[in-house]
Amino acid sequence: MISIAMKWTVPGEDGPFAFIVINQIIYFPMLLMIGFMYFHYRYYRNTFIQTRFKSLQEVRYHHFQSNISEAIEFLVWQIVIAIILGFQTFSLESFYSLAVIILTLLLMYLAYTMIYTTILEITKQYYYAFITCGVLLIAFRIIVHTQLSLGSYTLTYEGLSGNYILIVAYLFVIVCCVVINKLYFNQKRKLRIDKRIMMLAGCIFVEIVSELFLRNQSLIDTSLSLNNYYGFMQSNELFVTLIWMIPKIMLMYIGFMMFCERYRLNYTFYAVRIKSKRKWVHQIMKELYLFIFIVVCSKFVFHCLFYQVFDFSLVLMSCQYFFYSIVLLSLLIVGYIITKSESIFNSIIIAYVIVVTFIGMMEIVPLQFLLLDDHLITTLCYLCFIFIIYNIIVYLMNHHEYY
Q: Domain for residue 212, yes or no?
A: no
Q: Are residues 92 and 161 in the same domain?
A: yes
Cα dihedral angle (359, 362, 368, 373), rounded to 10 degrees? 100
In a domain, 210, yes or no: no
Question: What sign for the dihedral angle of Cα 98, 104, 107, 110?
Answer: negative
Beta-carbon count within 10 A of 211 CB:
18
Q: 157 and 286: one domain?
A: no
Task: Identify whether the C-beta of residue 194 lies closer than 8 Å to the C-beta of residue 132.
Answer: no
Same domain as 159, residue 24: yes
Label residue 372 left, alpha or beta by phi (over 0 means left) and psi (-120 to 50 means alpha): left
Same domain, 188 and 228: no
Residues 250 and 151 in one domain: no
Residues 386 and 323: beta-carbon distance below 8 Å: yes
Handedness of CA 259, 260, 263, 264 (dihedral sign): negative
> DSSP class of residue 142?
I
Q: Would residue 185 count as lying in a domain?
A: yes
- Give the range of the structural domain holding residue 31, as residue numbers without chain letter: 2-193
Residues 97 and 236 in one domain: no
Same domain for 229 and 179, yes or no, is no
Q: Tell me which residue of 285, 284, 290, 292 sits closest to 265, measured CA to CA.
A: 284
Residue by residue, pLDDT tens for the chain (403 residues) are 665 665 666 555 445 666 667 666 777 777 888 888 889 998 988 888 888 888 888 888 888 889 899 888 888 888 887 777 766 666 666 778 888 888 888 998 899 999 998 888 887 888 888 888 888 887 787 777 777 777 777 777 777 778 888 888 888 888 888 888 777 665 444 445 567 777 888 888 888 888 877 776 777 777 788 877 765 445 567 777 888 888 898 899 889 988 888 887 766 666 666 666 788 888 888 889 999 999 998 888 888 877 777 778 888 888 888 999 999 999 999 998 888 888 888 888 888 888 888 887 777 777 777 788 777 787 888 889 889 999 888 888 877 655 4
Same domain, 234 and 186: no
Q: DSSP assignment of 332-358, as one string? A: HHHHHHHH--TTHHHHHHHHHHHHHHH
Conformational region of residue 86, where left means phi above 0, alpha means psi within -120 to 50, and beta covers everything else: alpha
> Do 313 and 178 share a structural domain?
no
* Same domain as 380, residue 249: yes
The count of other CB atoms within 10 Å of the CB of residue 190 is: 9
- For the chain, the domain total comes to 2
* H-type alpha helices, 156-228: 160-185, 195-213
d(CA 109, CA 140): 13
125 in any annotated domain: yes
Q: Could you tell me where the DSSP H helices lie in 263-311?
A: 268-270, 277-307
Domain membership flag for residue 209: no
Query: Cβ atoms within 10 A of the Cβ of 29, count?
Result: 18
206 part of a folded domain: no
List the end-to-end C-alpha distance of the chain, in Å, as a whole number: 56
**Cβ atoms 280, 274 nearer than 8 A:** yes
Report if residue 280 sits inside a domain. Answer: yes
For the whole model, what pTM was predicted? 0.59
